[in-house]
Amino acid sequence: MSEPEIEIKRWTAKRKTQVVLDILKGKTTVAEVARQHDLTPGEIERWVDEGISGMENNFRARPRDIREQYERKLEEAHAALGEKELELKALKKWQRLLDEEENS
């Protein structure tokens, strides 16, 4: 007895991911998924290719993305520190001017 067909009207990324994982783990085949869901094998193979490509890109990009985020935050922190240093210098100068005015 074969499994009952499950009609899926919309293939979300989550559903596609599960199908691709099942294929990669050997739980099912491209032909079985295509037959069960009335899809073409080419469609399913494209999902598998995209999934594998996405994994590869994820492994490559993640450290670079994190490094870029930290560098951007560091630049923002340096900019904020520079602004605070300028404010501090200005306040000290104003304080000196006020002190000179009071002492005159």
- Tracing tokens 């594998």 back to the chain, one arrives at 52
Q: Is the pTM of this model over 0.75?
A: no
How far the first Cα of the chain sits from its last, in Å, is: 103
Predicted confidence at residue 22, as pLDDT, reads 96
pLDDT digits over 22-77, tens only?
A: 999 999 999 999 999 999 999 999 999 999 888 877 776 566 677 788 888 999 99
Looking at residue 64, the DSSP 8-state letter turns out to be H
Integer Cα distance of 8 and 44 in angstroms: 14
Predicted confidence at residue 69, as pLDDT, reads 80
Confidence band, pLDDT 50/70/90 cuts, at residue 102: confident
